[in-house]
Chains A and B, each alone.
Chain A
């Protein structure tokens, strides 16, 4: 079988190690415990829900689908992701969104230093504190329709936030779409 490409539901009744549910296309994986490094790495379609915490590189390089971690995650969340959605119920570590090329990361808690390092496309929504920004990252306020979209999405995955927490959300976006070709100006 060329990969787990069936639209099957997989229930894991404990914790998983490194690289759980990587490269899946269409499966729905529910992990009742924690996960190690790089869960859902390079997923193209499907859903991975982790009830506990996860290590570094959650959703690294995903092309689509949704990854949900109910508690905290390690560093480099969503590194080089191209599309899709990553939701972190707790805090996210160092260099979250590193070289992010699209999609969205939603962090309900705090995000550690160098957030959005060298981000090129996409957005990181943060409900808590932003320790510091990486190169090419800037912070913007949300539009009302973005807040409504967040509410709808988060409630789908069982996150019930009070209204004032939604008001605190900000997003980290790229300063330039061509950060590596510029000279003196942002747009190069």
Chain B
């Protein structure tokens, strides 16, 4: 299974979401490290 890791520690939620949606088309599994309980992450809205 192809994996991709995103380090969310220094990124704002929009950037994390954008990267996630790009990589979701390419990888089967995505690991998000350092989530830090940030709000509005990993949601499906096209606007975030």
Q: With A8-B24, A13-B32 in contact, is A36–B45 under 8 Å at CB?
A: no
How many chain B residues have a CB neighbour from A under 8 Å?
26
CB distance from A104 to the nearest CB of B (A): 23
A11 and B30 contact, CB distance less than 8 A = yes
Shortest Cβ gap from A17 to chain B (Å): 4
Q: How many residues of A contact B (CB 8 A)?
A: 31
Across-interface contacts of B1 in A (CB, < 8 A): 9
Bound together, the chains give a CA A10 to CA B17 distance in angstroms of: 12
* Stretch from A24-32, A95-103, A126-134, A149-157 forming part of the interface with B: A24-32
For B31, what are the chain A residues with a Cβ–Cβ distance below 8 Å?
10-11, 13
B44 & A11 in contact (Cβ 8 Å cutoff): no
Q: Is A4 an interface residue (CB 8 A)?
A: yes
Nearest Cβ distance between residue A39 and chain B, in whole angstroms? 10
Q: Mark A15-42, 1 if CB is under 8 A from B, else 0.
A: 1111111111101010001101000010
Closest to A10 in B: B30
Interface string of A58-89 (1 = CB under 8 A from B): 00000000000000000000000000000000
- Chain B positions near chain A (C-beta within 8 angstroms): 1, 20-22, 24-25, 27-46
Listed in ascending order, the chain A residues whose CB lies under 8 Å from chain B are 1-6, 8-25, 27, 29, 33-34, 36, 41, 43
Could you pull out 29 A-B pairs where Cβ atoms are within 8 angstroms? Answer: A3-B44, A4-B24, A5-B44, A9-B30, A10-B31, A10-B32, A12-B35, A12-B42, A13-B31, A13-B32, A13-B33, A13-B34, A13-B35, A14-B36, A14-B37, A15-B35, A16-B38, A16-B42, A17-B38, A17-B40, A17-B41, A18-B40, A20-B43, A21-B43, A22-B43, A22-B45, A23-B43, A27-B44, A29-B42
